[in-house]
Amino acid sequence: MERAKYPFIIGFLVFTLFPVFWMFKISVTPDRLLYSEGIVAWPSQTTFDHYYAVLVEGSFPDYFMNSFIVSFTTAALVTILASMAGYALSRFHFKGKVALLTILLLTQMFPIVMIIAPIYNVLTFINLVDSISGLILVYTAFNLPFACFLMQSFFDGAPQELEEAAMIDGCTRLQAMEKVTIPLCLPGIGATLGFVFTAAWSELLFALMFISRQSQMTFPAGIMNFVTKFSVDWGQMAAAMILALIPVCIFFAYIQKFIVQGLTAGALKG
Amino acid sequence: MIRAGIAFVLIVLSFVAWQAMFDDKDLDPNNLLIVEVNTSAERTGVLRDQLDRFEADNPGLKVDVISLSWGQAFEKLSMMIAGGQIPDVIEMPDFWLARYVSAGQMADMSQFVENTPFDDDLEEDTFKYGSIRDKIYTIPYGYYLRAMVYNKKLFKQADIKEPPLTMEEFYQTAAKVSEIPGVSGYCHHGGRGGAVFYYWIMTTMNGSNEFFDAEGNSSFYDQGAIDGLTLIRDIYQNGYAPQDSLNWGFNETVSGFYSGVCAMLHQTPDALNGLRQRMDEGDFASAPMPLGPSGKSFPHLGYIGWSVFEQSQKKEAAFKLVAHLLKRENHQEWAERSGLVPIYKGLAGDLFDTGDVGAGWLTSTQDERWEYMINPNHLSDIAEFDSIQVVQSGQAMMLGETTPEETAKMWADFLSASQKRWLTGND
Amino acid sequence: MTNRVEPWLYLAPTLLFIFLLVLVPLVTGISYAFFNFDLISGTQEFVGFDQFVRILSEDEVFTMSLVNTLFWTSTSLFFQFTLGLALALILNSGFRGIKFIQPVLFVPWAVPSFLIGLMWVWMFNPVTGPLPYMFEGLGLMETPENLLSDPDLAMWGPITANVWFGIPFFTIMLLAALRSIPNDIYEAAHMDGVSGLQAFRHITLPLIAPTIIITLMIRAIWIANFAEIIIVMTNGGPANSTQIVATYIYDTAYQKMDFGYASVISIALLSMLMIYGFTLGRIRQKMKVYI
């Protein structure tokens, strides 16, 4: 069992990274060699022109900044709101709970392409179409249902007795929540945060449909600039994609601490 | 922690509220708004230059541009309109036109055209192409005419001296090139956007570029048309086109061509820019589309034009802007930079007089054996027919799931029904 | 705990967001089904249930795409879940270098879906990608051909891309659930002589079951609605062999501009997903009792 682990991990790494490696290869291949060398593991000449073009000549630094603001804000907002909602769903029995859960689930089942136009109208109404604020609101709304389910199930997993004990000891509910329940649910909060962050980071359809101004564009929408009717600028697109993965890696490297903390939090209890 | 969370939520919400109230969106409602849909960074630069000149010529008029990316332009434009954000001038591809006209969104430009002096050299059908029921709704800014680009190196290797002139030679050439290992003769465009090749081979084999008779019956079920479909199916099934060309889109056909996977490419002249970047100038050339049994060929002529929205509050200025963009000197720059067949007759010679690379287009525009084929763009379901029905059922035919005859029947039925609705005015 | 007002207080901000930006548009979207609706002209003509009759009686593409949806969803879900669970268990057991490998394994989840599609198209293309040659080397193909243009195999292309993309989701969610299990439970069980596979079955599995059910439920719903990868990779072709309900809806809405009928198809999909959701929901409730 212990030994079988390593080939498995290597297998996963290869499956995950090979396509990324291939994109990286494209990003450093000069345009002229892109098709002329056949299938080779590494081009005979490499260049960082595409990275230069993306980082210096284009508006990508702005796109990345917008993406970061949108993703981070959305992730934090959703996690906070969903923690509250998830807590309510987990700790209380109240009238209309089943109906509420059903509606939350229902929102996930209707294809987004069908409701983009109505959302566009809502955003026009509140004067937030074509701005990152509007995007933050829409992403928050669309990530909330699932985040609520998630937080609910994490709260379900955290034993209620401890919290009740704290409340008997004189804590208010909020104090008990802050001292006992939230530390126990940190892995769940970390997972939710990471999940929503990446979802917002990589979202294209809304960004493309709602944003027209260059100054408000996020990076996935900006990447569409490389796809024109008559050609795709593969080199620059691959370079932008590789660059976009770096902040995500860093974010996950940071988030994993939260997820790991679950172990220590679990020990606290005993 | 909980307090920090609540504070964060409040900060975000106040930022959102601030943007909702005070952000002015950079778009001044007094400015003209032009939306381009076939966007590329280079072309946007050309457009901006021409708009700057327009602003200089017309003090007081300012123009804003929104550039949509082609892939989602149709969806996004329709959403903008539904959301009440109406542009003044729009770049209008031929196959969208009927949709927008039947929805009552396009302004009739006939009056305006009458009052505007255009150069006499203008291709005579220019206004006709953009008209529906004798009203001009768009003015083409250039033509996407099809010709055959071929790989000279591969031709030489296969011992082929001349590009194919007739359909028979086309088939033989494709077969001969395919004898080279790993190479196929024809770069088939079987995915979205490839419909016009089927139309070309059907009309050319049939000897007429009319899609319908007077009663509105489609000519696609004529024997000649069926023969055309049979021919392309044979080319594919005999391996004279790459196996995966079945779902190639534009990008794959072009990359297939310049990587030397296939030797003949059915393309519009704007593809040349991409080819020049990746192939040596002497390695490729163009020829007109092969002639059918009738001694004629009907290469497809597509166009994109400038239109004005019916709901625009500044129609006069918008018309003026369209006239400015189509002025001879502006148009020359435009056609040159985007690699289009120009709408002024005299310009074609200038733009394509570049040896055998432009030969295909030059011949097609000047020799009488080549006549243009114009899609039935007046039908409002032509866009969906081109991009869905023809693609999926064409693939089924190439795979042998249906026969060319069944396919021709299916297409003819669709088109006849649509045309008859149009003739009775119930479009 | 029973309390009338308090839970709603916690729920209020969430509900406000969802109501304004999801629910109102959703109801609008559903209402299209009863109209002959043209987005461009903005005209709406009430047609009642006429469009529902069409889907039941004469739509072959819908039937075909339904079968494809079933295959696409179940196959993608199966591989994503099993591989994701395996990876979560491995990561949970810990190994050297985990700190560096863990973030990398989550990378696919952060790639925009249309880029995933383009990337895999590139990989499957014999002119640009290595996969056809690998398949040939493994004896799976006689000549290096593009799997995406073979109607019998084409669906495996988007499925591969989708599995690549979806594994990290299950990994991260299940890993978080695993990490929430207090260690002392295992210690206690160990003292009682329960360990290894038995501990997994009797301790781990029941404790992560709520998370498993909820992720399986939501992922299946998302995958069934997930059209981007297919649109980029095959556009539903060749010959409709990769046409799923979600791509069909997209085409109907934005190519045919028939929002009314697209809404009808969406409602049909919604009803089927609801049956699936309720079945899993029931199972989840039963399990709670069991635990």
Q: Does B28 touch chain C (CB under 8 A)?
A: no
Place of tokens 């006239």: B323
Query: Which pLDDT tens digit goes with each residue over A80-105?
Result: 999 999 999 988 888 888 899 889 98
The band of C290, judged by pLDDT with boundaries at 50, 70 and 90, is very low
Element (H, E) at B263: strand B262-267
Instruction: Check whether A270 has a pLDDT greater than 50.
Output: no
Identify the closest residue of chain B to C38 by CA–CA distance: B103
* Closest CB from A19, A104, A156 relative to C120: A19
Structure-model confidence comparison of residues A178 and B128, the more confident one? B128
Contact call for B190 and C145, based on CB within 8 A: no
Best of A9, A114, A189 to disrupt the C interface (most C CBs within 10 Å) is A114
Q: What is the pLDDT of residues C215-248, one digit of tens each?
A: 898 899 999 999 999 998 998 879 899 999 999 9
Q: Are B20 and A127 within 8 A, CB to CB?
A: yes
- B280-335: pLDDT as tens digits: 888 999 999 999 999 999 999 999 999 999 999 999 999 999 999 999 889 999 99
In the prediction, which pLDDT does C107 show? 86
Candidates C40, C133, C135, C172: best to mutate against A (most CBs of A within 10 A) is C172
Q: Do B12 and A130 make contact, defined as CB atoms within 8 angstroms?
A: no
Same domain, B53 and B152: no
Can you give the pLDDT at residue A60? Answer: 87
Residues B342 and B285 in one domain: no
DSSP B10-52: HHHHHHHHHHHHH---S--TTSEEEEESS--HHHHHHHHHHHH
- Listed by start position, the domains of chain A span 1-47, 59-269
* Phi (first) and psi of residue A155, to 5 degrees: -65, -35
- The nearest alpha carbon in chain B to C44 belongs to B103
CATH code, domain with B125: 3.40.190.10
Q: Which of C62, C137, C76, C230 is nearest to B247 (CA)?
A: C230
B23 touching A (Cβ < 8 Å): yes
Who contacts C278 (Cβ-Cβ below 8 Å, separation ≥6)?
Answer: none
* End-to-end Cα distance, chain C: 20
**For residue A177, what is the nearest residue in chain B, using CA coordinates?**
B2
Tell me, yes or no, whether B247 lies in a domain.
Answer: yes
- DSSP string computed for B112-145: HHHHS---TTB-TTHHHHTEETTEE--EEEEEEE
- CA dist B355 and B296 (Å) reads 24
User: What would the two tokens of residue A13 be?
Assistant: 């790494």
Percentage helix, strand, coil, to 5, in chain B? 50, 15, 35
> Measured between CB atoms, which of A182, A213, A231 is closest to B274?
A231
Q: HSE on the CB side for A234, CA within 13 Å?
A: 22
Q: Place A265 in a pLDDT band, splitting at 50, 70 and 90.
A: very low
The reply to whether C23 touches chain A by the CB within 8 Å rule is yes
ipTM of the complex: 0.87
- Distance CA(B340)–CA(C127), nearest Å, equals 29
pLDDT digits (tens, 9 = 90+) for A152-170: 888 887 777 888 888 888 8
Q: Does the CB of A40 have a partner CB in chain C at under 8 Å?
A: no
Residues B192 and B271 in one domain: yes
Tokens 């008209």 sit at which residue?
Answer: B131
Give me the residue from B103, B247, B255 closest to C234, CB to CB: B247
Query: Among C11, C244, C254, which would you mutate to test the A interface (most chain A Cβ atoms within 10 Å of its Cβ)?
Result: C11
Contact call for A124 and B83, based on CB within 8 A: yes
Where does residue A96 fall: left (phi above 0), alpha (psi -120 to 50 degrees), or beta otherwise? left
Question: B178 and B199 share a domain?
Answer: yes
- C-alpha B362/C-alpha B91 separation (Å) is 26
B173 — pLDDT class (breaks 50, 70, 90): very high
Cis peptide before A43 (omega within 30 of 0): no
Reported as a pLDDT band with limits 50, 70 and 90, residue C254 is: confident
pLDDT of C286 higher than 80: no
Q: Which of B315, B337, B352 is the last residue of a domain?
A: B352
Single out the residue of B387, B239, B246, B238 nearest to residue C153, CA to CA. Answer: B246
Q: Are strands B147-151 and B284-287 parallel, antiparallel or unpaired?
A: antiparallel
Indicate yes or no: CB of A178 within 8 angstroms of CB of B2. Answer: yes
Distance CA A206, CA A126 (A): 17
Q: Which residues of B touch C151 (CB under 8 A)?
A: 395, 399, 401
Residue B152 falls inside a structural domain: yes
Residues B259 and B189 in one domain: yes
Is A267's pLDDT higher than 50?
no
| Residue B17 domain flag | no
Question: Helix count (H) and strand count (E) of chain C?
Answer: 14, 2
B327: its two tokens: 């002025």
Average pLDDT of span A20-24: 93
Within an 8 Å CB–CB cutoff, is residue A127 touching chain B? yes
Check the CA dihedral C29-C33-C38-C43 and report its sign: negative
> Which residues, other chains included, contact C161 with Cβ-Cβ below 8 Å and sequence gap of 6+?
C116, C117, C119, C120, C229, C233
pLDDT 10s digits, C131-151: 988 898 888 888 888 889 899
Instruction: Report the alpha-carbon distance of residue A152 to residue C211 in Å, rounded.
Output: 10
At C128 the pLDDT is: 82
- Whether residues B319 and B232 share a domain: the answer is no
Does B241 share its domain with B314?
Answer: no
User: Does residue B288 sit in the same domain as residue B216?
Assistant: yes
Distance in Å, alpha carbon of C70 to nearest chain B alpha carbon? 21
- Collect all residues of chain B within an 8 Å Cβ-Cβ radius of residue C238: 190, 246-247, 395-396, 398-399
Asked if residue B337 and residue B242 are part of one domain, the reply reads no
A203 touches C: beta carbon within 8 Å: yes
What per-residue confidence (pLDDT) applies to B156? 94
Q: Which of C8, C22, C249 sits opposite A114 (nearest CB)?
A: C249
Residue among A70, A79, A212 with most chain B CBs within 10 A, to mutate:
A212
Interaxial angle between packed helices A234-269 and A5-28, expressed in degrees from 0 to 180 and rounded to the nearest 10 = 150
Q: Inform me whether the C-beta atom of residue B70 falls under 8 Å from chain A C-beta atoms.
A: yes
**A-to-B residue pairs, Cβ atoms closer than 8 angstroms:** 104
Contact A153, C288 (CB under 8 A): no
pLDDT digit string, tens, across residues B21-54: 877 655 667 889 999 998 888 888 999 999 999 9
* pLDDT band at B60; cut points 50, 70, 90: confident
First-last CA distance in chain A: 29
> Is B19 a member of any domain?
no
B45 inside 8 A of chain A by CB: no
B63 is a domain residue: yes
CA distances from B147 to A232, B306, B427 (A): 22, 24, 33
Chain C CB within 8 Å of residue B12 CB: no
Is residue A129 pLDDT above 90, yes or no?
no
Task: State the smallest CA–CA distance between residue A56 and chain C in angstroms.
Answer: 22
**What is the chain C residue with the closest CA to B102?**
C41
Please report where in the chains the tokens 């709970």 appear, as a residue. Answer: A97
**Percent of chain C predicted with pLDDT > 90:** 40
What order do you get walking across the sheet with B139-145 strand by strand? B63-67, B32-36, B89-93, B301-308, B139-145
Cα A5 from Cα A181, distance rounded (Å): 33
- Kindly determine whether residue A224 and residue B75, on different chains, have CB atoms separated by under 8 Å: no
Q: Is the minimum CB–CB distance between A23 and chain B shorter than 8 Å?
A: no
Claim to verify: residue B41 and residue B114 sit in the same structural domain: yes
| Closest chain C CA to residue B80 | C40
pLDDT at A2: 65
Rounded to 5 degrees, φ, ψ at B71 are -55, -40
Give the domain extent around B161. Answer: 147-298+379-423
Q: Answer yes or no: do B403 and B269 share one domain.
A: yes
C residues 42..81 contacting A (CB < 8 A): none
Q: Do C238 and B190 touch (CB under 8 A)?
A: yes
Q: Do B393 and C234 touch (CB under 8 A)?
A: no
Q: What is the pLDDT of residues B361-402, one digit of tens each?
A: 999 988 999 999 999 999 988 988 998 899 999 999 999 999
The CATH superfamily assigned to A59-269 is MetI-like (1.10.3720.10)
Mutation target to probe the A interface, by most A beta carbons within 10 A, among C27, C39, C179, C272 is C179
- Smallest CA–CA separation between C87 and chain A, in Å? 8
Interface contact B19, partner A, CB < 8 A: yes
Give the pLDDT confidence score for residue A1 in this predicted structure: 54
pLDDT tens for C168-215 read 999 988 988 888 777 777 888 888 887 778 888 888 888 888 889 888
| Nearest chain B CA: its distance from A199 CA (Å) | 19
Residues in chain C: 291
| pLDDT score at C3 | 67
CA distance to A152, A155, B330, per residue, from A167 (Å)? 20, 17, 78
Q: Per the CB < 8 Å rule, is B251 touching A224?
A: no
Nearest to B69 among A126, A132, A224 (CB): A224
All domains in chain C, ordered by first residue:
51-290 (1.10.3720.10)
Q: Are B136 and B157 in the same domain?
A: no
In this complex, is the C-beta atom of B256 within 8 Å of any C-beta atom belonging to chain C?
yes
How many independent structural domains does chain B possess?
A: 2
* Cβ–Cβ below 8 Å for B247 and C127: no
Residue B92 has pLDDT above 90, yes or no: yes
Q: B275 at the C interface (CB within 8 A)?
A: no
DSSP state of B304: E
Structural contact between residues C41 and B106, judged by C-beta atoms closer than 8 angstroms? no
Query: Which of residues C152 and C41 earns the better pLDDT score?
Result: C152
Task: Tell me, yes or no, if B392 comes closer than 8 A to chain C by beta carbon.
Answer: yes
Q: Which residue has the tokens 């990275």?
A: A51
pLDDT at B426: 65
Model pLDDT, residue C288? 61
CA angle B72–B76–B80, rounded 5-degree value: 170
Is the CB of A59 inside 8 Å of chain B's CB atoms?
no
A129 in contact with chain C, both atoms CB, cutoff 8 A: no
Q: What angle do CA B293, B294, B296 make, to 5 degrees?
A: 105
Supply the DSSP symbol for B107. Answer: P
Of B26-30, B136-140, B252-256, the range with the lowest mean pLDDT is B26-30
